[in-house]
Copies of this chain bind each other. A is one copy, B any other.
Amino acid sequence: MPEQYLKVYQQQVENTLQRMMETVFPPQAGSAVARAAAYSLLGGGKRVRGVLTLAASALVCGDAAPAESYAAALEMLHCYSLIHDDLPCMDNDDFRRGRPSCHKAFGETTALLAGDALLTAAFETLCRNENGGEKNARAVQLLAHAAGPHGMVLGQELDLAAEETPVDEAGLLLIHTNKTGRLLRAAVGLGAIAAGASGAQAAALDGYAERIGMVFQIVDDILDVTATSEELGKPIGSDAENNKTTFVTLKGIDAARAEAERLTREACVLLQNTFGKSADFLCNYAQKLVERSN
C-alpha cells in the first residue's frame, strides 16, 4: 500500500516536471541550455523532495494536487544545486546517477546556464498554479530563504571550507542542517502551505523533516563506506579520500546507524502525535530512507 502511494507520488512529480519544463523552458531543438536542463532534471532520481511535498499536502488536506507545482519547483531547485555542485570549480564530479554529469555531457558554460535557468524557473513554477498569490508568495519566501545565503548556499560554502579545515560534530551538524536539511524542511513546508496547514500541523511536519534530513545525511555517509559504486551510481570512498569529517568518522558505522534509527523513530512519533494513523505513509517513507542502499 505505501509502496503503491510512493510510485503514484513519484509519477505525479515526473508528470508535473515534464509539463512544467515544456512551459517554462524554450523548445530543446533550439536551446542547448534547455536540453542540458532536461537531461539533468528528467534523468531519474528518487524525487525525495517532491514526494515529501506531495505527501505533506495529502496528509494535511487529503489531496496532493495543490502541491504539484511546489514539488516540481523544489526538484528544479535541487537539480540546479547538483549541476553547480558538480562543476570543476566546486566538487568537480564527472558522474551523477551513473551518467556523465551535466558539464561533462554539455560543457561547462551550458551547465552553468542550465543551473541558473533551473533556479530561476523554480520560482516561476512556484507561482504557476491555482493556489492564489498569498500562498504562492509565502512559498517563494520559504523556498528562497531555505535555498539562499542563509540556507543551502551557506551549507555549500561551509562544506567546501571544511575540506580545508576539518570540523567537529557541531560544525558537521551546521553544514548538513543547511546543505541538505533546509531543502527537506522546505519540502514539507511547501506541502503545508499548499494544503493550508495549521501552525501545529506545520510544526509537526517541520520536526519530522528536520530529523529525516539528518538521517538522510548519516545514511549517505554510511553508504559512502559500505555501498558499491554500482549501487550509488558514483565513485565510493570519496569522503575518506578527501579526509572529510563525516558521521562515520566521528562515531563509527554502528553508532551512526543507531543514531539514524533513533531520529527516524522520533520523526514518526512527532507526526503520529498530530496526525495519527494518516501519518503512516510518511513514517514508512522515513523507514525506507534509513534502509536505502543508494
A25 within 8 A of B: yes
Partner of A87, one of B112, B128, B135, B147: B112
A65 to B240, CA, bound (A): 53
A133 within 8 A of B: yes
What is the minimal beta-carbon distance from A94 to any residue of chain B, in angstroms?
A: 16
Partner of A119, one of B34, B120, B126, B145: B120
Chain A 86-112 interface mask (CB, 8 Å, partner B; 1/0)? 010110000000000000000011101
A153 within 8 A of B: yes
Residues of B within 8 A of A156 (CB): 113
A199 within 8 A of B: no
What is the minimal beta-carbon distance from A87 to any residue of chain B, in angstroms?
A: 7
Partner of A144, one of B84, B110, B121, B134: B121
A250 within 8 A of B: no
What is the minimal beta-carbon distance from A92 to any residue of chain B, in angstroms?
A: 10
A249 within 8 A of B: no
A127 within 8 A of B: yes
A154 within 8 A of B: yes
Residues of B within 8 A of A253 (CB): none
Given contacts A89-B108, A90-B112, A133-B133, contact A127 B141 (CB under 8 A): yes
Given contacts A33-B154, A149-B37, A157-B33, contact A140 B124 (CB under 8 A): yes
Given contacts A34-B149, A157-B33, contact A140 B117 (CB under 8 A): no
Q: A120-B144, A124-B145 are in contact. List 18 more A-B contacts (CB 8 A).
A: A24-B148, A26-B150, A33-B149, A34-B149, A84-B112, A89-B109, A90-B109, A117-B148, A119-B120, A121-B149, A123-B144, A124-B140, A124-B141, A124-B148, A132-B137, A133-B137, A133-B138, A134-B137
A-side residues, CB < 8 A to B, are 24-26, 31-34, 37, 80, 84, 87, 89-90, 108-110, 112-113, 115-117, 119-121, 123-124, 126-128, 132-138, 140-141, 143-145, 147-150, 153-154, 156-157, 160
* 7 A-B pairs in the complex with CB atoms less than 8 angstroms apart: A26-B150, A116-B119, A120-B148, A120-B153, A123-B144, A126-B140, A133-B137
